[in-house]
Chain A
Amino acid sequence: DTAVSQTPKYLVTQMGNDKSIKCEQNLGHDTMYWYKQDSKKFLKIMFSYNNKELIINETVPNRFSPKSPDKAHLNLHINSLELGDSAVYFCASSQDVNQPQHFGDGTRLSIL
């Protein structure tokens, strides 16, 4: 009965590859987010979708493309992976933009 689930939990791949991270929430929330946590544990928002519409797009390379097929899912696709993309990526959701966010357990991405 996991509220916000991300797959995979670990992702190890080589530079230049394309990979996707999936996120699903079963809370019935309208808003979903992607955050990046770097090696110093600093958390920064990347994207946010509200009712499947993009509402936040921070200064993120266009190699990163979020996709929201429905309100319960927000996937993150990354093209041409670079060493600097190594991080933990967290998905989160909230009832709406004014409510607290619930986080998944993260996906640790390691680029070789």
Chain B
Amino acid sequence: AQSVTQPDIHITVSEGASLELRCNYSYGATPYLFWYVQSPGQGLQLLLKYFSGDTLVQGIKGFEAEFKRSQSSFNLRKPSVHWSDAAEYFCAVAQHGSSNTGKLIFGQGTTLQVKP
């Protein structure tokens, strides 16, 4: 069965510091991979996605993520964090191909706190 693990429940970084949020998935083939961000009281906003091709994908708000097949990982990175980045971050996986139903399986989420 497909699953997504975000090992870090809570991360605190100083403003201006670099950030890496970890995501590991379990899936029989190469899945579609996503990172979403949820600000308090808001819905989920898509940061970036990986479908195929270049394993380093760029997203909005200065985020990027790297797909590593050998490690079944899709870690999210940002070189310099801003206070407005404080939010909940979700990694998600979807199967693709003829059997795709669009079903997203989410990780448990990582809460990012930014210190001034």
Contact = CB atoms under 8 A, between A and B. Distances in A.
A35 B88 CA distance: 16
Contacts, number: 61
A66 interface: no
B102 A41 contact: no
Interface string B36-59: 101001111110010000000000
B84 interface: no
Interface string A77-101: 0000000000000101010111011
B67 to A, nearest CB: 16
How many B residues touch the partner, as a band?
20 to 34
Contacts of A43: 44, 90, 104, 106, 109
A101 B104 CA distance: 9
A50 B100 CA distance: 12
A94 to B, nearest CB: 6
B96 interface: yes
Contact of A100 (B43, B49, B109): B49
B90 A98 contact: no
B109 A41 contact: yes
Interface of A: 4, 31, 33, 35, 40-45, 48, 50, 55-56, 90, 92, 94, 96-98, 100-106
Interface of B: 32, 34, 36, 38, 41-46, 49, 88, 90, 96, 100-106, 108-109
